[in-house]
Amino acid sequence: MDTFTRQLKEEYEKRLHELRRSLHGEKERYRQLGFQYKQVVTQLKKVQRDNRGMENQLKALRKCASCSHLDQRSKSYNALNELLRGSAAALQPEDIVSGGSFNRDNELKAAKLANSNLQQCVDKLQSALREKSREVALKEKYYNEAILEREAQITQLQNELSAQQTKGHTSQSMAQQHAQMKLDMLLKERNELLDRITRLEEANQNIMHNDFQNEQHEERNLIPSEKDGKEYCEYCRNRKQSWNRMLNAEQSLNYYLEKDKDNIGCSPQEIVLRDRIQELSYSLKMERERNKEMENTLKAENNKLRNDYQKLYGQYESLTLELSKRESARVLESNVVHFERQLKNLTKQNEISLQKCADLERAKNLILQEKLEQLKINEILRKRLTRLEEDQKEKNKNYDMQIEVYQELIKQKDQERGALIAELYAAAHPKTIHNSLKELGDDNANAMEHRKLLKQLQEINFEKDKMANKITNLELECQSKADQLRAKSKEVETEIVLKKSLHDDLSKARTMLLDKESEIHDLNNGLKIAEVKMMKLETELANAIDRLQVERTIGTSLRATLEELENLLREKNAALFAASQDRQHCTSEIQKMKELKYDMQTKL
């Protein structure tokens, strides 16, 4: 039993030592992977923030280049056509006061709205870019500082460990404890930072989800066209109507010019006005062609932006997949931590069970020793009892022999006494005095002998009483010894029961040990599975690093496209500003021409 338990102990100790070594290696590997994972996560978050900022900027630019602002631009250009149509209608003196002021107010309102909307878009874009740049700079500074601090602390700890390793064993143990405490603190801080990063990621995901829902809502609000079969919003429909109005106004103006050509008797001022109107119509045609070109370019830009948005959406889906993979990796990490805790608990339970087994074995050995001692004592007592019984039997035999001798002596004495009594009776009737004197002398001698015999009888009776007392004492001692033997037999029975219970406890402990061995085997399998998963995580980390490089390249390309779009917006704003100035100049000239026409008509 002792050799078997020792072998089991040695095997368990070897297994535990191997498991501790493997756990230590896995912890070191896990720590290195955690550091690499932290670096990759920080880089991914930076790239995600940059990409989100770029997406927001692209959305803002897409809104700036959307149909609503094109509609406002078309309204600003349509103002010229409205003025020309008003100038054409101004030849009839009835409509001068009613339509001109109303169209002019609408033109001014449209121009003001267009300028204000453009200015608001530009201001919003600039403010958003500034805020995003500030936030990104602050976050980069914060995370870079935190990483530098952690790296400095890790280097300090490594230096301290290397310095302490050169010293004695005691100083090494103290340094390791101090370094372990610091490492625990750093791990806690790392976990807090990871929690904060996860919260920020969740907030960004919620924002992206809300933006995606808003875009879906905008796409749902699109109004399908009846003629083209395409989807147009209200601004696009209004723009289309304004273009149709421009075409109708141009046709009416050309009809009016063709009609006026037939009038031969015209004044030179009217001819000048006609030429001016023709020039304005030509400029309007050119402006319309420019507007068409601008519309085509804006459509192409919108298509590009849509393609970029689709690409970004695909990247967003890939990033969500990566996030799900990371969440699965976190779940795996939590499972590994749970397995480690279970291993620690099992090792503790193993140690406790081994201690219990050792205690049980010690108790068993002590009980066996006590039982052996008690058996030896019982054997000694049995031998003593047998000896005492034999001695008592011999003594009883001697006593019986003495009693028989004494009984024979008593019988002889009784016979002698009877003879003496007969003699005394004979002496009581003396025949002669001479005979009486002789008989008196004989009687005195017989009396003396009789007294001696009585004394001997008294001594024999006294010795007989003593022997009877001794026999009673021996019987009492035999009864007490029998009682002691019964008590000892009961104790032996109780010890046998305890021995059986100890055997049962040992069997239960063996079953527990077998269960623990099975659990350790399962934990070893779990460790192997965790190692395989860690290998998968390493491959996923390598893939994530490659994706990071791809994301960086995409971010640089997006920045370049943003800069190009900003330049295009600036150019468009400048062109719109120049067009608004030309429109103001044309409105002033048209007003002057209207006044001249009205004066000429009044003169005519």
pLDDT in tens, 238-260: 656 655 665 555 554 454 445 44
Mean pLDDT, to the nearest integer, of 543-563? 75
Residue pLDDT, tens place only, 221-238: 443 333 444 444 555 566
Q: Does one domain contain both 388 and 429? A: yes
Mean pLDDT, to the nearest integer, of 343-354? 74
Q: Does one domain contain both 421 and 552? A: no
Distances (CA, A) of 144 to 44, 50, 173, 182: 14, 16, 33, 20
Residue 46 and residue 28: Cα distance in Å, rounded?
27
- In the three-class reduction of DSSP (H, G, I as helix; E, B as strand; rest coil), residue 94 is classed as coil
pLDDT above 70 for 593: yes
Mean pLDDT, to the nearest integer, of 151-159? 65
Residue 51 and residue 320: Cα distance in Å, rounded?
14
Residue 84: the pLDDT is 46
The residue type found at 404 is E
Structure tokens, 16: 């535990």
The pair phi, psi for residue 223, each rounded to 5°, is -100, 125
Q: Sign of torsion, CA 478 484 485 486?
A: positive
Report which listed range, 146-155, 282-291, 392-401, is most confident: 392-401
Distances (CA, A) of 585 to 111, 112, 331, 383, 590: 14, 16, 70, 144, 9
Residue 193 belongs to some domain of the structure? yes
Residue 51: the pLDDT is 65
Q: Does one domain contain both 196 and 257? A: yes
Residue 88: the pLDDT is 41
262 pLDDT band, cuts 50/70/90, is very low
147 pLDDT band, cuts 50/70/90, is low
Mean pLDDT, to the nearest integer, of 32-54? 70
Residue 231 belongs to some domain of the structure? yes
Mean pLDDT, to the nearest integer, of 159-170? 60
Residue 8 belongs to some domain of the structure? no
Residue 9 belongs to some domain of the structure? no
Q: Does one domain contain both 141 and 288? A: yes
Q: Where are the alpha helices (DSSP H) in 221-267?
A: 234-261
Residue 467: the pLDDT is 72
In the listed set 471, 495, 516, which residue is the last one of a domain according to the structure? Answer: 516
Residue 260: the pLDDT is 47
Quick check: 260 and 584 in contact, CB under 8 A? no
Residue 418 and residue 88: Cα distance in Å, rounded?
196
Quick check: 339 and 530 in contact, CB under 8 A? yes
Residue 219 and residue 213: Cα distance in Å, rounded?
10
Residue 15 belongs to some domain of the structure? no
Residue pLDDT, tens place only, 55-102: 676 666 555 444 444 445 445 445 545 544 444 444 444 333 344 444
Q: Does one domain contain both 191 and 263? A: yes
Report which listed range, 88-97, 344-353, 382-391, 439-448, is most confident: 382-391
Q: Choose between 386 and 106: higher pLDDT.
A: 386
589's CB contacts (< 8 A; 6+ apart) are 276
Q: Does one domain contain both 94 and 236? A: yes
What percentage of residues in the chain have a pLDDT greater than 90? 0
Hunting for tokens 């104790």 — which residue is that? 491
Q: Does one domain contain both 405 and 353? A: no
pLDDT above 50 for 440: yes
Mean pLDDT, to the nearest integer, of 589-604? 72
3-state helix/strand/coil string of 47-93: HHHHHHHHHHHHHHHHHHCCHHHHHHHHHHHHHHHHHHHHHHHCCCC
182 pLDDT band, cuts 50/70/90, is low
Residue 20 belongs to some domain of the structure? no
Structure tokens, 531: 């190692």
Q: Does one domain contain both 354 and 405? A: no
Residue 568 belongs to some domain of the structure? yes
Q: Does one domain contain both 356 and 413? A: no
81's CB contacts (< 8 A; 6+ apart) are 245, 246, 249, 250, 284
Radius of gyration in angstroms for the set of CA atoms belonging to the chain, rounded to a whole number = 63
Residue 574: the pLDDT is 78
Residue 210: the pLDDT is 55
pLDDT above 50 for 219: no
Q: Choose between 247 and 326: higher pLDDT.
A: 326
pLDDT above 70 for 160: no
Q: Does one domain contain both 436 and 508? A: yes
Residue 527: the pLDDT is 74
User: How many structural domains are present in the chain?
Assistant: 2
Residue 433: the pLDDT is 42
In the listed set 471, 501, 516, which residue is the last one of a domain according to the structure? Answer: 516
Stated as kind and residue range, the H or E segment containing 186 is helix 169-220
Report yes or no on whether pTM surpasses 0.85.
Answer: no
Label residue 92 left, alpha or beta by phi (over 0 means left) and psi (-120 to 50 means alpha): beta
pLDDT above 60 for 265: no
Residue 263: the pLDDT is 47
What percentage of residues in the chain have a pLDDT greater than 70? 48
Q: Does one domain contain both 317 and 399? A: no
Q: What is the DSSP string of 356-408?
A: HHHHHHHHHHHHHHHHHHHHHHHHHHHHHHHHHHHHHHHHHHHHHHHHHHHHH
Mean pLDDT, to the nearest integer, of 31-40? 70
pLDDT above 70 for 387: yes
Distance of CA 168 to the CA centre of its chain: 39
The Cβ-side half-sphere exposure at 1, using a 13 Å CA radius, reads 13
Residue 466: the pLDDT is 76
105 pLDDT band, cuts 50/70/90, is low
436 pLDDT band, cuts 50/70/90, is low
Residues in a beta bridge with 224: 231
Domain span holding position 381: 367-516
Residue 87: the pLDDT is 43
Residue pLDDT, tens place only, 556-590: 777 777 677 777 777 777 777 777 787 777 777 77
In the listed set 467, 498, 516, which residue is the last one of a domain according to the structure? Answer: 516
Mean pLDDT, to the nearest integer, of 529-536? 76
How many helices (H) does the chain have, and how many strands (E)? 7, 2
- In the three-class reduction of DSSP (H, G, I as helix; E, B as strand; rest coil), residue 224 is classed as strand
pLDDT above 80 for 373: yes
Residue 17 belongs to some domain of the structure? no
- The C-alpha angle with vertex 14 and arms to 13 and 19, in degrees rounded to 5, equals 95
pLDDT above 70 for 333: yes
Within 10 A of 286 (CB to CB), how many other CB atoms are there? 10
Residue pLDDT, tens place only, 448-488: 776 777 777 677 778 767 777 777 777 787 777 778 778 87
Average pLDDT, the chain: 67
Residue 274: the pLDDT is 66
Residue 540: the pLDDT is 76
Residue 234 and residue 169: Cα distance in Å, rounded?
82
Q: Sign of torsion, CA 269 275 277 283?
A: negative
pLDDT above 70 for 174: no
Structure tokens, 306: 């849509």
Q: Does one domain contain both 306 and 376? A: no
